[in-house]
Structure 1
Amino acid sequence: MQLTAVQRLLGLLVMLFSGAMLPPVAVAWMYGETGSLYAFLESFGLLWLTGFAIWLPVCRVQRDLRLRDGFLVVLLFWLVLGVFGATPLYLDPALEVSPSDAVFESMSALTTTGATVLTGLDALPRALLFYRQQLQWLGGMGIIVLAVAILPMLGVGGMQLYRAETPGPVKDNKLTPRITETAKALWYLYLGFTVACAGGYWLAGMTPFDAVAHSFSTVSLGGFSTHDASLGYFDSPWVEAVAVVFILAGGVNFGLHFLAWRSLGLAHYWRDAELRTYVKILSLLAAVSVAYLLTHPLTGGWMDALRQGIFHAVSIATTTGFTTADFHLWTGFLPVMLLLASFIGACAASTGGGIKVIRFLLLLKQGQREVVRLVHPSARIVVKVDGKPVPDRILDAVWGFFAAYVAVFTVLLLVLMGTGLDQVSAFSAVAACMNNLGPGLGTVGAHYGALSDPAKWLLSLAMLMGRLEIFTVLVLLSPAFWRQ
C-alpha cells in the first residue's frame, strides 16, 4: 500500500475540486447575490488550503499506484468531496441547514442521486441552484475520470483509478490505447451531449439559466431541478421530449457512443445486447404505465396519460428522478413497479445507477441455463452475449455482486427502520438512494427533510455504496486488502 502516494493524489484532487466553487462565484456576481458570493469564495479558499496542506508533506513522493491504491483513493475522494462539497451549502446565509442536511445534499448531488432535503427552491439564490446542478454534472461521468485526463501531466498514473471508478461488470476495456485519451474521449462526448441538451431545452422554451442547469442534471441522470415542481414547473411536452431523448442517451454505455462517433455510424448500437435489452425494458414499462394511467382517473385525458406514462417510465427506470407529477401519490401498483424498475437501472459505463442492464441480462441467462440443466443434467450450456461466450468468472462476479447488493440493502433497510421510519418509506428510501434514483414513496415521496440525522447519514452511505457499486467500498473492509 503506497499511502504517501495516495495522500499526494488526494491533496491534488481536493485542490482540483476547489475549482468547482468558481463557476457559482461568477453566477453570484452576475445576479448580485452577495451572501452566496462570499460563501463560495470562502469555500474555495478552505478547500484549496486543505488540499495544499494534504499534498505539501508528500509533494516530492514519486511512486506508482497499484490497483488497491486506486480503490482507496476513489473511496477517500468521494467521502472528502461529499463533506467539503457541503461547505457552501452550510455557509450560505440563504440556507439554514444543519451539517447533516448539507452533507446529505452534497452527497446526493455528487452521486447523481437527486434526493433532496431542501424546499422552496424557486426562491433560492441562483448560485446555489447552479452549484447543485454542477455537482451532479461532475459526478455523472465520475470526477475521477476527469482527474485521470489531467493528472498525468502532474506525474500521476491513471489506469488504477479508472478501473476502480468506472461502473459495470467488465472494467478492463479501453476505448483508446492510452487511458488518458480514453478519459478525454469520454468527457468530450459528455460535454457534447450537455451542450446539445442545453440547446434543446432553450429551444423548447426554457430560460438560458434553466436550460444549462437542467442539461447538467439530465445528461448525468441526476434529477435535481431549479424548481420544486421539477420539470412539471414548465408544463411543456417539448421540454419533456428533450428530457426523454437525453435521458435515454445518458443511460447508454458511453463506449457505444464513442464507437458511433468514431465510425460515423449507428450500427454499433443495435448490435449490442445490453442496449437492445435496455430499450425493450423501457418500452415495456412505458406501455404498462400508459395503459394503467388510461384506465385509472389519475391524469387529465389520454394525451396527459401518454406524456406522464412515457416520461415517468423513462425517468424513474433509468434512475434519473425527474417528475412532472406527484407519482408517489398514484394509487395501485404503478409507483411500486417504477421503483422496482430502478433496481435494473441503466447500462454499464453510463451515468445511471442500479445494478445495470448487463448484469440483469446475465442473471436472466444464467437462470435460464439452470432451468435447462434441470431437464438435461449432463448438458454443457454456455451463456452467450452478442454471440460470444461469457466466462464463468464474469458470471460468478455478477452473482456475487447481486448477493452483496441484496445483503447490503437488507441491512440498511433494517437499520433505517430502527430509526423509526415505516416499512414503505424505509424500503423506498434505501432503494432510491442505493439505486441513485432520488424520489421515493411515503414520507420521502416529496423530500427527505423530515428524516432524522442518523437516517440521513445512513442514506448518504447508501448513495455512496450505490455510486461506487458496493464492492469498491466492501473491498476496503476485507482483511486481505490491507495484508501486505
Structure 2
Amino acid sequence: MHFRAIIRVVGLLIIMFSFTMIVPTIIAIIYSDGSTQVFRKTFLTTILIGFFLWFPTRKNKEEFRVKDGFLIVVLFWLVLGSIGALPFIYLKTPNISITDAFFESFSGLTTTGATNFVGLDFLPKAILFYRQILQWFGGMGIIVLTVAILPLLGVGGMQLYRAEMPGPLKENKIRPRIAETAKTLWIIYVFITISCSISLWFAGMGVFDAITHSFAIVANGGFSTHDASLGYFNSSKINIIVIFFLIVSGCNFSLHFAALSNRNLRIYLQDLEFKTFIIFQFVFALICTLILYYHSVYDSFWKTLNQSFFQIVSMTTTAGFTSCNFAEWPLFLPLLIICMSFFGGCAGSTGGGLKVIRVLLLLLQCFRELKRLVHPNAIYPIKIGSRILPERIIEAVWGFFSAYLLVFITSFLALVSINVDEISAFSAVTTTLNNLGPALGLFTDNFSTMNPIGKWILIFTMLFGRLEIFTILVLLTPTFWKK
C-alpha cells in the first residue's frame, strides 16, 4: 500500500476543493448576507489542510494499484465530507451543532438531500448556494472530475474510476483513455445543468433559484432553497421540466454520449435498462394517479396526474424533491413511494438505490431459477440485449444485494436500539441508504429531531449508499490489508 502517495493525492484533491469556496464567497458579497467571513475561513482552513498533507509527500508519485484506488476514494469522501461541514460550523446564525454540520455536509455530498435546517427561506443565500453545489459535485463524483486532471499530476486514474463509478458494469468506458472518459462525462453533466437552469428560468423561477435547483436536479440530490421544496413554486410547468431532467439525470450517461455522438435517439430504446427504467416510472405513476383520483385528493384529473408523475419520478430517481406533503396521501402511497427508491436510477447515472440494472438482473435470475425447476439440465444464459452476461457479474449482483441487506438491517436495528420507532427507523434507513432524502414518521419534514447518535449512524449509511457498499466493506476485510 502506497500510503505516502495516497496522502499526497488526498492533499491535492483537498486543495482543489478549497477553490470551490470562491463562488459562495462572491454570492455572499453580492447579496450582502453576512456569510463572507464563513467562506473565507473555510477556504483558508481547507487549503492549509491540503497543503500540509501534500507538501511532505509531494515527491511520492508511485503508480496506484486497485487497493490504493479504493482507499483513496473512501478517505477522500470521509475527509471531504468533514471539511465540507466547516461552513456550517463557522455559521453563527443559525448556530448548529458539529453533528448537525457533519450530517448536512455528508447529506449534500452524497446527494441524499436529508436536512437538519428549518427555515431555509431565511438562510443566507451563500449557504443555500453552497448546499446545492455540494450536491452538484457529489452527483457525478468529485473523484471522476479529478481523474480528468490527475494524469497531469503523474497519477493513474483507472483505479479511482473503477472504485467510484456506480453500477455493476464498470468496465464499460466511453473513451479509450480514462481521463477522456471523465472529461466526457463532465461535459455532458455541465451541458445538462445549463439546459436545466435555462428551462427553469423560462418557466418562471428566479435566476438564483433556477441555477441552484438545477444543481440538485441534475445530481438527483433533493436539496432546495425553500422549506416547501418545489411545492413552493406551485407550478405544473416547473414540475414537468423537473420530471424531464430527473429522468435524463437518472439515465446512464454513456447512453447520452452515444446518442449525442451518433445523433440517434433510438439508442435509448435499444437499451434494456433504460426501457425498464421508463416502464417503472409509468407503471407506478399510473397506480399513484388512480389511487389519488379514487380518493379525490385533488380537484382535477390533470393535477392528480401531474403530482403523481412528479412524486414518483422524484422518488424513483432518488432525487427526493417534493411538490406536496405526500405523507398526507392515503397510507399505501407514502409507503410505496419510499419503497420506490430501492429501484434507483440507471447504472452510470447520478441516481442512488440498487440501480435498475441490478434489479433487472435479479429478476432475470429469478426467472431462470424457475425455468431450471422445470428443466434442471437445461442451460439458460442471462442476456442484456444480445449480450450474454458472464456468471461472474450475476454473482457480483447477488453479493451486492446480500451486502445491501446486511447494511440495511444493521442500520435499522441500530436506530431501533436508540428508541426510534419502527416506521421512522425504516424510512430513515431507506432514505439514507438509497440517497433519497424525504422520510416518514418523525422525519417527514426534516431530521432535526433525530438524536446525535442516530445522525452518525445515518451519516455512515449515506456513505455506504453513495459508495455502493463494497467500496467501504472491502476496507474492513483482512485480505485488503495483506501484502
1:375 aligns with: 374
CA distance in 1, matches of 2:168, 2:322: 30
Q: Where does residue 15 of structure 1 map in the other structure?
A: 15
Write the letter of the residue equivalent to 1:124: L
User: For 1:381, what is the secondary structure of its paired residue?
Assistant: coil
In 1, the alpha carbon distance for the partners of 2:327 and 2:24 equals 33
1:63 counterpart = 2:62: yes
* Corresponding position of 1:446: 445
Q: Normalising by structure 1, report the TM-score.
A: 0.99
Q: Where does residue 84 of structure 1 map in the other structure?
A: 83
| AA at the equivalent of 1:30 | I
1:387 aligns with 2:404: no
How far did 1:332 drift?
2.3
The residue number in structure 2 matching 1:255 is 254
Moved more, 294-303 or 215-224: 294-303
Name the structure 2 match of 1:462.
Answer: 461
CA distance in 1, matches of 2:317, 2:271: 18
Give 1:427 shift: 0.2
Moved over 3 A (4+): none
Give the Cα–Cα distance (whole angstroms) in 1 for the partners of residues 94 and 187 of structure 2.
Answer: 35
Q: What is the deviation of 1:330?
A: 1.9
Matched residue type, 1:444: F
Shift of 1:287: 0.4
Q: Does 1:219 align with 2:218?
A: yes
Q: Distance in 2 between matches of 1:355 and 1:339?
A: 13
Q: Distance in 2 between matches of 1:172 and 1:5?
A: 25
Cα RMSD for the two superposed structures: 0.8
Q: Could you tell me which residue of structure 1 aligns to residue 227 of structure 2?
A: 228
Q: Deviations over 1:96-145 (max 9, x none)?
A: 10000000000000000000010100011100000000000000000000
Aligned equivalent of 2:199: 200
Question: Tell me, what secondary structure is at the counterpart of 1:421?
Answer: coil
Runs of 5+ unmatched residues, structure 1: none
Residue 304 of structure 1 and its aligned partner are, at CA, apart by 2.1
User: What does residue 30 of structure 1 align with?
Assistant: 30
- 2: CA distance between counterparts of 1:463 and 1:397? 21
Deviates more, 1:200-209 or 1:263-272: 263-272
Write out per-residue CA displacement over residues 147-201 of structure 1, whole angstroms, 9 at most, x where no aligned residue. 1012221112111100100000011111111111100000000000000000000
The amino acid of 1:309's aligned partner reads S
* SS of 2:149 mapped into structure 1: helix
**1: CA distance between counterparts of 2:387 and 2:62?**
39
Offset, 1:78? 0.4
SS for the counterpart of 2:353 is coil
Question: How many Å apart are 1:460 and its aligned residue?
Answer: 0.5
2:432 matched to which residue of 1?
Answer: 433
Aligned partners of 2:327 and 2:148: how far apart in 1?
A: 41
Distance 2:320 2:298 in 1: 19
Distance (whole Å) between structure 2 residues aligned to residue 173 and residue 221 of structure 1:
22
Partners of 2:328 and 2:434 lie apart in 1 by 21
The alpha carbon displacement at 1:453 in A equals 0.3
TM superposition score normalised by structure 2: 0.99
Establish whether residue 326 from structure 1 lines up as the match of residue 325 from structure 2. Answer: yes
Q: Quick one: which amino acid aligns to residue 129 of structure 2? A: F
**Counterpart for residue 348 of structure 1:** 347
Hey, what's the Cα distance between the residues in 2 that align with 1:410 and 1:294?
Answer: 35
Q: Distance in 1 between matches of 2:296 and 2:114?
A: 28
SS in 2 for 1:139: helix
Distance in 2 between the 1:115 and 1:421 partners?
A: 17
The aligned counterpart of 2:188 is 189
Deviates more, 1:473-482 or 1:335-344: 335-344
The Cα offsets for residues 32-91 of structure 1, whole Å up to 9 and x where unpaired, read as 123x10000000000000000011111111200111100000000000111110100110
- Residue 95 (structure 1) shift: 2.1
Residue 301 of structure 1: CA displacement?
Answer: 2.8
Deviation sequence 1:319-353 (CA, Å, 0-9, x none)? 00000111122222111111111101110000000
Distance 1:254 1:465 in 2: 22
* CA distance in 2 between partners of 1:300 and 1:420 (Å): 40
Task: Supply the distance in 1 between the matched residues of 2:297 and 2:444 (Cα, whole angstroms).
Answer: 17
User: 2: distance between equivalents of 1:267 and 1:295?
Assistant: 37
Deviation at 1:260, TM superposition (A): 0.8
Partner residue, 1:2: 2
Percent identity of equivalent pairs: 49
For residues 36 and 116 of structure 2, what CA distance do their matches in structure 1 show?
22
Distance in structure 2 (CA, Å) of the matches to 1:465 and 1:9: 22
Q: Number of aligned pairs?
A: 483
Structure 2 distance, partners of 1:19, 1:156, is: 21
